[in-house]
């Protein structure tokens, strides 16, 4: 086989795979919103939606912006798998033994939120059944 033909033979499956990945997956829902704790938007939170079946679905993640807004992603793909998810809120720097700097007026609420809804502690569940560009995630 000529090198040019071999290149095209190898390239074709990669293009098909790439095109297949770029299409919209009917099992994924776009989810954007605001994280509020006790009525206040909370910035700088590492937010995770862990699906009910980790053998067939992946966890979605985001970090809330200065206004508590977020958009969930699985890697670089926007979305959350349909179904029940457990919601986790963590300080992204805690794993390194540090604390994320947050405004003093919300720091107590931020620390309380991360302690109550952090990894291994949260019991809060949410069902994702459609895309939502204005999810109000109100935690108490």
- Residue 31 has what DSSP assignment? E
Could you give the count of Cα atoms lying within 13 Å of 13 in the half-sphere of its Cβ? 4
Average pLDDT of the chain is: 86
What's the pLDDT at 30? 96
- Tell me the pLDDT band of 62, cut-offs 50, 70 and 90: very high
Average pLDDT (46-69) is: 96
5-9, 22-26, 114-118, 130-134: least confidently modelled range: 5-9
Say yes or no to pLDDT of 9 above 60.
no
18-27, 43-52, 68-77, 110-119: least confidently modelled range: 18-27
- DSSP reduced 3-state for 5: helix
Counting Cβ atoms within 10 Å, is residue 86 exposed (0-12), middle (13-18) or buried (19+)? middle
Which distant-in-sequence residues (6+ apart) come within 8 Å of 101 by Cβ? 44
Say yes or no to pLDDT of 20 above 90.
no
What's the pLDDT at 95? 83
Sign of the four-CA dihedral 32, 36, 40, 44: negative
Q: For residues 50 and 117, give the distance between their C-alpha atoms in angstroms, rounded to a whole number.
A: 13
State pTM to two decimals: 0.80
Average pLDDT (60-88) is: 97
∠ CA 50-55-58, nearest 5°, is 40
Give the CATH number of domain 25-139; options: 1.10.510.10, 1.10.3720.10, 2.60.40.1120, 3.60.15.10: 2.60.40.1120
Number of other residues whose CB lies within 10 A of the CB of residue 85: 23
Query: What six digits make up the tokens of 140?
Result: 């108490």
Tokens 């992204």 correspond to 92
């Amino acid at each position: 086989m000529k090198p040019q033909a071999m290149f095209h033979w190898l390239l074709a499956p990669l293009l098909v795979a790439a095109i297949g990945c770029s299409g919209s997956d009917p099992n994924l829902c776009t989810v954007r919103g605001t994280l509020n704790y006790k009525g206040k938007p909370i910035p700088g939170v590492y937010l995770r939606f862990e699906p009910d079946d980790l053998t067939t679905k992946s966890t979605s993640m985001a970090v809330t912006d200065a206004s508590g807004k977020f958009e969930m992603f699985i890697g670089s793909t926007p979305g959350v798998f349909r179904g029940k998810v457990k919601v986790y809120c963590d300080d992204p720097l805690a794993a390194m033994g540090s604390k994320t700097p947050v405004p003093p007026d919300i720091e107590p609420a931020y620390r309380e939120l991360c302690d109550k809804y952090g990894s291994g502690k949260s019991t809060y569940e949410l069902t994702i059944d459609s895309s939502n560009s204005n999810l109000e995630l109100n935690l108490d």
